[in-house]
Structure 1
Amino acid sequence: MIERADAGAIADWLAERLAGAGTITIPGGSTPFPIIEALLERHGESIDWAGIEIWPNDDRIVPEDHQASNTGRIRALLEPCGARIVALAEGAAPPHFTLAWLGMGPDGHIASLFPNTDPQIDDPLAVRRLTPDPLPAHAPFDRITLTIPALADTDTLMFTLGGGADKRAVFEAALRGAHDLPVARILRAARARQVPVTVFT
């Protein structure tokens, strides 16, 4: 784990991984957007955005111009730089990712793979539409999400935890195999594929 990394430090790490063309998947929520803004401020002109394709991990089923749309926020920041933004759709076939950047909720969910959805490491689908239960009060919408096999099909897995000690405890328990929440399942899938994992706390 990389301790107490601020948005600038994470942006610098990302810039090194984005030096060449590639395909990445990035999370929504509150944590990633200050990091993306720092990335653009510090390295925006040195990255070949035209060679980068970006998929959201997941999205709320709302129009892209809705304030709750992950895709809309990602597109507004990175499409003007020349990156190609791919909105999730049922039946889509995601590529192998150069980098899969994930967040994690305090309940151990990743993307929109909440505990109630019972995400499977061998899910035959790469993209699923589903309904969290309970619906988060701040975003009470059905979701579309990449599944564990799609997220684990990557050269590198990166987590930005945020949220302090509680989230860290959930993540560390997942590393130890002390529970079977979605974050533990993606970590098992990454180990099985020998995917390196970097965690920013």
Structure 2
Amino acid sequence: MDNVTIIESRSDAAIADWLSAQLAEALDEREGPVTITVPGGSTPFPIMEKLLDHDLDWTRLVVWPGDDRVVPEAHKASNTGKLRDLFEPAGAEVVTLSEMEAVPRFTLAWLGMGADGHIASLFPNTDPKPDEPRSVVRLTPDPLPPEAPFDRISLTMPSLLASDRLVFVIRGDEKRTVLDQAIAGEHDLPVARLLAAAKQPVTCFT
């Protein structure tokens, strides 16, 4: 895959610097809002905290969660609630993911990946496809992750692919193996399906 770049052993601060440079370029190139989608989970939030230290016009940023647990935003498992706590004090807008919401094209789609190859909340059991007609889906992971046993709402593959750039942050040897196999086309897990359909630049921090 000629559009995939792997960058190894970068710190949270270095990844935040890279993300800041991408956002600064987008803000300079256009007027109006810049829209991104970001992941939940434990890995991204420390990076986001460092990203917010950068001097950008946060009032022009619109942040979409790539997925969320179907819980109230005040619940500790809510990605959206955590994103609001981080980004809204800086002036950014945080969107509540809804099946009724029209999904825009993203300047940047930032993703994580599970050891089972899932992206956003598109788990293997949900059989996600690049030609899914819906933009947002509600679904139930099987098996339910014990640390977050909730139904999910998620952007679909076409929504993630409607982006100028895809960015992954993946930590750990087990996940790196799954990623390498996906790039090589050695399995059909959700991450492999997304990468096979991606035409835009894909940057993977490991």
TM over 0.5: yes
Q: Which runs of 4+ in 1 moved over 2 A?
A: none
1:18 corresponds in structure 2 to: 23
1:174 corresponds in structure 2 to: 182
Deviation at residue 150 of structure 1 after TM alignment: 0.1
Match of 1:31 among 43, 46, 52: 43
Unaligned runs of 5+ in 2: 1-5, 28-32
Q: Pick one of 103, 107, 125 that aligns with 2:112.
A: 103
TM-score, normalised to structure 1's length?
A: 0.95
SS at match of 2:167: strand
Q: Counterpart of 2:18 in structure 1: which amino acid?
A: W
Q: Tell me the equivalent position of 2:79.
A: 70
Q: Secondary structure at the match of 1:91?
A: coil
User: Which of 104-113 and 17-26 deviates more?
Assistant: 17-26
Looking at structure 2, the residues matched to 22 and 85 of structure 1 have their Cα atoms a distance apart, in angstroms, of 12
- Structure 1 residues 90-128: Cα deviation after superposition (integer angstroms, max 9, x where no partner): 122110000000000000000000000000110000000
Q: Give the TM-score normalised by the residue count of structure 2.
A: 0.93
Q: Give the counterpart of 1:130 among 139, 164, 171.
A: 139
What amino acid maps onto 2:65 in structure 1?
A: P
Q: Deviations over 1:150-196 (max 9, x none)?
A: 0010000000001x111000001000110000000111121xxx210
Q: 1:3 aligns with which of 8, 19, 40?
A: 8
Counterpart residue identity of residue 110, structure 1: I
Match of 1:117 among 102, 109, 126: 126
Cα deviation 1:113-153 (Å, max 9, x = unaligned) = 00000001100000000000000000000000000000010
- d(CA) in 2 for partners of 1:182, 1:91: 24
2: CA distance, partners of 1:96 / 1:9: 26
1:87 corresponds to which of 66, 86, 96: 96
Kept in 2: contact 1:159–1:198 (CA 8 A): yes
Instruction: Report if the CA contact (8 A) 1:148-1:189 is conserved.
Output: no
Aligned counterpart, 2:60? 51
Structure 1 counterpart of 2:181, one-letter code: A
Which of 192, 198, 203 is the aligned partner of 1:198? 203
Partners of 1:141 and 1:119 in 2: CA distance: 19
Give SS of 1:18's match.
helix
Equivalent pairs counted in the alignment come to 194
- Distance across 2 between alignment mates of 1:79 and 1:189: 33
- C-alpha separation between the residues in 1 aligned to 2:116 and 2:20? 30
Cα RMSD of the aligned pairs, angstroms, is: 0.7
Distance 1:152 1:109 in 2: 15
Gaps of 5+ in 1: none
CA drift of 1:29 comes to 0.3
